[in-house]
Each structure stands twice: as C-alpha cells, then as structure tokens.
A and B are shown apart, each in its own frame.
Chain A
Amino acid sequence: MTIKPWRLPATLAVAAVLCGALPALAQTPIKIGASLSLTGTYAKLGSYQKEGYELCAEDLNKKGGLLGRKVEFAVYDDQSTPATGVRLYEKLITEDKVDAVMGPYSSPITEAVANVTEKYKKVMVSPLAATTSIFKKGRKYIFMVISPAEVYLEGLIDTAAKRGLKTVAIINEDTLFTKSAAIGTAELARKQGMQVVFQEAYPKGHTDFSALLTKIKAVNPDVIAAATYFDDAVAITRQMKELNVNPKMLGVTVGGDLPEFYDLLKQNAEYIYGATQWEGALPYPGQREFLEGYKRKFNREPVYHSASGYAGCLIYAEGVKRAGTLDADKVREQLLKLEIKTAFGEYKVDQDGFQTAHKMVILQWQDGKKVTVWPDELASGKARFPTPAWNQR
C-alpha cells in the first residue's frame, strides 16, 4: 500500500494537536511533598489540611496541570511532632527529590521544618501556621496564608469602638497562640482609644473561673474579650451567667465558631461573638466550586483547615504559573508580589512572607445560627447589640 501524499501532514497535525492538548500525560508529574499530622494530637486537623491539598491537586489536574505537568502530592505522617516533621522534610527534599513542598499543620511544626526548607532554598507556602514570629526571623522562602493570632478579635474591638464602648477586659489561656491573641487584642483596643481595664492569663486546663470573673465583674467592663480554645470558652460563658456578669459584648477566639459551642450551651450561646478564619457562607470567588468539590469528594462540609490547605496550594500554583518555572527564587519573587482572592479570601504578604490581607471574620450566635457580622463587606446580618443582661433574656 502506498502512502497518500496528503496523509502524512494530516497525521502530524493530529499528533501535534493531541500533544498540545494532553501535555500533562507526556511529562513526569510535579511532585509536591509535605508532612502532615495524620496521627497524634493534631490528627483530625492535619487530615483536614491533607484533604485540602488533595482537592487542590485534583482541581489543578482537571485544568491541565501546572506548567503542563500533572500535580501529585507525596504526604508523610509527622505524628504531630516537630522532630519527625524535620526528618520528613529532609527526606522529601534530599531522598525523594520532590519538585516542591507545602507546609505542615500547626505553628510548632512549621517553625521546626522551616529551618530545613530554608536550608535547601525551597519555597514553602504554609497554610496553617498563624504565629507571627515564624515569619519574622529573616526567613526568605516561607509564606503565610491565614491571619495571625494578634488580629483574631480585631472585629470585636472594631465593632465595640464604633458603638462607642470604652472599656475592655482581656483574659487568655497562657499558651503561645492565645497569649499572642490577647496581646494583639490589647494593642488594637488601645489604638481604637479603648481602655484595657483588666488583663489576666489563666493556665491551660483551668475550669473554675469564678474568682477571675468576680474580679472582672468588679471593674464592670463594656467588653470581655477572651482568647480561648474551646473548653474554656464554654466554661467562661456558663460561669458568667452563674455570677451574673453582664458585659455589652462577649467575644472568644477559638471555640465560638464551632457548632459544638451551641450544642453545649444552647440558648446561652446567643449574642456571643466568635472569630473564624473562614466560613463556607462567605462570598469569596471559587467558593461554590470548592464547597461542591469538597462535598463530592469527602461527603461532608469542609472546615477552615481544608479550605486554607486548598487555597495555600492554589496560591503556590499561581506563583509557579506566573514565574513560568519551579525555580525557587523566581517563584518567591512572584509570591511576594501576588495579590489574589481565593475561596479562602484574600492573599497578600509583606517582604517577609507575612500575611497582611486575609481578613478574620467575626460571627455572632443568633437564634442558634452563626451570623457573620464583621467586616461589613462580608456581613450576612446585623449584630444584635448590646447583649442583654442574663436575667433579661
């Protein structure tokens, strides 16, 4: 059989089109390494973050991958310990020779592994590290995604100041994150011209707040800002009612955003302000796709750890896309300049990679539902203000 002269160019053309359309299949995939806490104390939260990474890789690959290559995650379990994380990032970079890395879960582990990634000059977007100091040590290749602890209650203070409230009492659990949150809140309050009339820390695991609240009651502040985790937020609320402590606003950092907070306190959670990095209901670009994709893949509602992991990975991908290469210095340059809005909200960092644009949101429990009340542009309802006294509800 003879080859008809027109067939050869046609075949070549078809082949060229196919190659152009499916380059991701033609080249080796981009391997992104990370250690996450899949067992140990942070197990639940670490696996949420992993889900975010996985969903991000899937979404990227659906759109043709990154730089024309497929994206794959190589994830190890650091058992929630910084030392294991350090070992795993060494292994990922030197033995597995991954093309890129993403951050682990939590501040302590990020703090430890950042030394490794800096040593090998690897860009690391860290979606779940909220401690300011990690990013203020002269490190060059690390990027922050979530808001720092210091601004958790910015919205509470801002709302209070706008309503003309003058005095605030600040209490916090005496651990790294809550301490930073309390210090930041005090600073914000002073900046807004409010007076911090009481400030005290209590040890982790504290359950009896009656003496602390008696002291607060004596100074009768307009606002009580509590830098809490979860158990303490519940206990403080209950004991405020028992001691009949009646501020015009009560805000807590962590715990107030969880559905379990209302399950435990029922109607006593009403009027309380909570803070969160992210809510599914916020009108961010790509939010619907994220929620739908997540529900399809994992069959439940996402929490912010997944959303931040997902967004962090997209932010890194965007940096690579703009740089046109995986070269760390070029990607770093792009990530420093980048301003982008993802399903997790805004991203913009200063010269240290420290997050400056992402907004915390403040929500209030109203009739058993979380209503976003701050910032104004994201609010889904009005704050019920002031909080009535316990005996007038």
Chain B
Amino acid sequence: MNPFITPVMLGQVIISGLLAGSLYAMVALGLGLIFGVMRVLNIAHGPLLMLGAYVTFWLFSTVGLNPYLSLLVSMPLLYLLGMLLQRFLVRRVVDAPELSSLLLTFGVSIALVNVAQLAFTSDLRAVEYLTGSFVLGPFAFSKSRVIACAIAIAITVSAFLFLQKTRLGKAIRAVSQSREVAQVCGINVGRIHMIAFGLASALAAAGGSLVAVMVAIQPEMGQVYTFKSFLVIVLGGAGNYPGALLGGLLLGLIEQVSSLFLTTQVNEAVAYILLVLVLLVRPTGLLGGRAS
C-alpha cells in the first residue's frame, strides 16, 4: 500500500539516503582497499565492523567514554587485529586461487561472530547516547546519523589524501596497480599488504563505532555490511577508490528512494538486481575498475 509521494517525502528519503550512503562509502573503501591491493575479497569485513561496535559499546558502558572519542581506540585496535589477521592467515592465500581467499575469510568471519557470541552473548546492546533529530522545516536530520556522516566523510577524505599524497599511500597504490613492478622498485610488498589490511580493518572499525550509536549491537550485525560494501565496490568499480565513494552514496540513495515506490520487502531485492545489472552491462563498475 503506497500513499502518494510528496516532495517532502522525497526530500526526506534523499537525506536519509545520503546519510546512510556516506557510511557505506567509508566502510566499502576498506573492502575495496583489500581487494585492490591483494585481490582478496574479505568476507570478514562486516564482522570486523561488529567488533568495532563492541569496542565502542564496552568503553561507553564501562568507563562512559564518549562513543565518538572511542573511534580513537577502536580504529587502532582493529588496525592491529587486521595486521595480525593478514600476517598469520590472509598472507597465505594472497596468491592462491580466489576461492581459497573466499573460504578463508568466510571462515574468519564465522569464527569472529561465534567468538563474539561466546564472549559478549547474543543479547542486544545499545549505546543510548545521541537520539532524536535536528528538525529543519519538514525535514528531520537524525543527530547520530548527521554526526556519523560528517565523521565518515572526514575519515574517507583523509584516507584519500593519504593514498594520494603520502609516500606510503603511493606505495599502496603502486602495489595495487602492479605488485611485480612495485617490488622491483624496492617496495616491501608484504609490509604494504599488512598495512593495507590494517587500514581496511580500521575503516570497518570506524563504521562499527559510528553505527553503534544508531542501531542495536549484536554479534551478527556485521554481515549485512559485508554485502553492502561488496555492492558498493561493484557499483563504483573494484579497485577504484573514488568509485567507492560514488558507489556508497549511490547505494544509500537507491535503497531509500526506491523504497518510497516499492514495499519494503520488494525493496530488499533492488540493490541486488542493480548488482546483477551492473555486472552484466558494465562489469568494471560505473567509474571503471583499477584506475587509481
């Protein structure tokens, strides 16, 4: 059943879409980074986000740390965990056929979720910090989502600048363009892989810390972000970093706007239909893949 659509409704869903999309973009950038640098599709990306959310929850509920400040803890922690995962597990499958890396990260994903279930139980948790919205005329801007959006944009932009301007960032891009040439030029590829995986995990952690304030936290909250990130990098072009930003915003918008016209159930399929279409028509993504 659909009420007729007014400009206000359209405006509201565009706002919701962009707010959600900026988060998708940041989280997907991590997934894209790992894929770009080592051709590994990290299924455990969502569960890493879940761990970030739990870091925020525990810091908030035990010592009362401001959830936004907890990014300063969750990101370095997950950076370390990401490096360790890469060093001891993922490294072994970097050059293996893609199925091996899929299976490995799938296994890691299941393990992380189950460890979280054991350690934290599957009870829902929430960080009841900032609720409600800024109301501007007929539009509501959710406070937590606006702040999350701002932080996500800041982090995404810094990540871009880092990749564009710094020596290390350039090395990362070099490895993602051609590992052999990078190696010949004296870049320590193993080290770059670890750093890239760490950075990607930190991006997931940032996503987790930010959504912790918006949705209920539980061990299985992460998987959906793996799928969304996957969609985003396919939309934007796998390995194309600015593409992730475009893909994220686009996914947020499409999800929200289409649900005005469709029922919620049908709408779940829209993003995936889009995925199939993009893969059929433009398999390199909207901006073309691997152009860094």
B126 interface hit (Cβ, 8 Å): yes
B264 pairs with A266, CB closer than 8 A: no
Known contacts A202-B265, A242-B133; is-contact A234 B216 (Cβ 8 Å):
yes
Interface residues of B in 139-190 (CB under 8 A from A): 140, 142-145
Give complex CA distance A197, B208 in Å: 37
Report B-chain residues with C-beta under 8 Å of the C-beta of A206. 264, 268
Q: Which residue of A has the minimal Cβ distance to B263?
A: A200
A390 pairs with B3, CB closer than 8 A: no
B192 interface hit (Cβ, 8 Å): no
Interface residues of A in 346-389 (CB under 8 A from B): none
A212 interface hit (Cβ, 8 Å): yes
B140 pairs with A242, CB closer than 8 A: yes
B9 interface hit (Cβ, 8 Å): yes
Known contacts A207-B224, A211-B267, A218-B3; is-contact A265 B128 (Cβ 8 Å):
yes
B263 pairs with A211, CB closer than 8 A: no
B1 pairs with A218, CB closer than 8 A: no
B216 pairs with A264, CB closer than 8 A: yes
Report B-chain residues with C-beta under 8 Å of the C-beta of A199. 1
B264 pairs with A244, CB closer than 8 A: no
Q: Which residue of A has the minimal Cβ distance to B126?
A: A264
B100 interface hit (Cβ, 8 Å): no
Report B-chain residues with C-beta under 8 Å of the C-beta of A234. 124, 126, 216
Min C-beta distance of B187 to chain A, whole Å? 41
Give complex CA distance A208, B16 in Å: 10
A203 interface hit (Cβ, 8 Å): yes
B20 interface hit (Cβ, 8 Å): yes
Min C-beta distance of A187 to chain B, whole Å? 16
B12 interface hit (Cβ, 8 Å): yes
B103 interface hit (Cβ, 8 Å): no
Q: Which residue of A has the minimal Cβ distance to B217?
A: A264
Min C-beta distance of B142 to chain A, whole Å? 4
Min C-beta distance of B188 to chain A, whole Å? 41
B264 pairs with A210, CB closer than 8 A: no
B56 interface hit (Cβ, 8 Å): no
Q: Give the size range of A's interface with the partner.
A: 35 or more
Q: Give the size range of B's interface with the partner.
A: 35 or more
B131 pairs with A208, CB closer than 8 A: no
A244 pairs with B3, CB closer than 8 A: no
Q: Which residue of B has the minimal Cβ distance to A245?
A: B140
Interface residues of A in 222-262 (CB under 8 A from B): 230-231, 234-235, 238-239, 241-244, 260
A391 interface hit (Cβ, 8 Å): yes
B116 interface hit (Cβ, 8 Å): no
A214 interface hit (Cβ, 8 Å): yes
A264 pairs with B145, CB closer than 8 A: no
Known contacts A212-B259, A242-B140, A242-B142; is-contact A235 B132 (Cβ 8 Å):
no
Report A-chain residues with C-beta under 8 Å of the C-beta of B221. 207
Min C-beta distance of B232 to chain A, whole Å? 15
Known contacts A198-B1, A243-B12, A260-B124; is-contact A203 B132 (Cβ 8 Å):
no
A241 pairs with B124, CB closer than 8 A: no
A203 pairs with B1, CB closer than 8 A: no
A219 interface hit (Cβ, 8 Å): yes
- Encode A265-277 as 1/0 by CB contact (under 8 A) with B: 1101000000000
B264 pairs with A203, CB closer than 8 A: yes
B16 pairs with A218, CB closer than 8 A: no
Interface residues of A in 154-205 (CB under 8 A from B): 174, 197-203
A208 pairs with B8, CB closer than 8 A: no
Known contacts A174-B265, A231-B216, A242-B142; is-contact A260 B260 (Cβ 8 Å):
no
B2 interface hit (Cβ, 8 Å): yes
- Encode B259-280 as 1/0 by CB contact (under 8 A) with A: 1100111011000000000000
Interface centre among A206, A234, A235, A242 (most CB of B within 10 A): A242
Q: Which residue of B has the minimal Cβ distance to A209?
A: B264
Contact among B6, B132, B260 with A211 in the assembled complex (CB-CB below 8 Å) = B260
Report B-chain residues with C-beta under 8 Å of the C-beta of A174. 265
Extra A-B contacts (19), CB below 8 Å, given A208-B20, A218-B6, A264-B216: A198-B3, A206-B268, A207-B221, A208-B255, A211-B256, A211-B260, A211-B264, A211-B267, A215-B260, A218-B9, A219-B3, A235-B216, A238-B131, A241-B133, A242-B133, A242-B145, A244-B132, A244-B135, A391-B135
Q: Which 6 A-B pairs have the closest CB atoms?
A: A211-B259, A242-B142, A202-B264, A244-B140, A210-B16, A264-B126
21 A-B residue pairs with CB within 8 Å: A174-B265, A198-B3, A203-B264, A203-B268, A206-B268, A207-B221, A211-B256, A211-B260, A211-B267, A215-B2, A215-B260, A218-B3, A218-B6, A234-B126, A238-B214, A242-B132, A242-B142, A243-B142, A244-B133, A266-B128, A268-B131
